[in-house]
Amino acid sequence: MATAKKAAKKSAAKKPAKKPAAKKPAAKKSAAKKAAPKKPAAKKAAKKTASKRKPNAAFMKAMTPSTVLANVIGSSPMPRTEVTKKIWDYIKKNKLQDSINRRLINADEKLRAVFGGKGKVSMFEMTKLVSNHLK
């Protein structure tokens, strides 16, 4: 073990002697080594806050869709999260997302009834309009 440390010290000492320009990258490496311990500490803090968070029971409550919305996602009661997932599955299956502005959804006949007659709806406005069709 002691010989390995000595060999490492000798090789480290020889590198700057061979190339004088190697000192600058060595300084960058030491700065990178100092920054590396900070990142795991931040991840640990994020994990602690994530473990304390509990899902809201209101999102998990089964809601019954209206007949207009049932044409798109089905008529069985499901939570709001599942409703949103099924609508996005329908949008992607039928390629209704706008090709230029991906935040807009081009409504077909079924979705136009859900969106209150609007032809284009933003993805943020979509959830508001869909919530009107849940009981």
Q: If you average pLDDT over every residue of the chain, what do you get?
A: 79
Q: Which long-range contacts (CB under 8 A, 24 or more apart) does 82-87 make?
A: 83/130, 83/134, 84/127, 84/130, 87/126, 87/130
pLDDT tens digits, one per residue of 10-20: 555 555 555 55
Instruction: Answer for the pair 104, 120: CB distance below 8 angstroms, yes or no.
Output: yes
* Cβ neighbour number for residue 47 with a 10 Å cutoff: 10
- Residues 96 and 80: their CA atoms lie apart, in Å, by 21
DSSP SS3 for 97: strand
Extents of the domains making up the chain = 59-131
pTM above 0.85, yes or no: no
Give the per-residue pLDDT at 113.
95
User: Considering the domain 59-131 in this protein, what is its CATH number?
Assistant: 1.10.245.10
pLDDT tens digits, one per residue of 86-121: 999 999 999 999 999 999 999 999 999 999 999 999
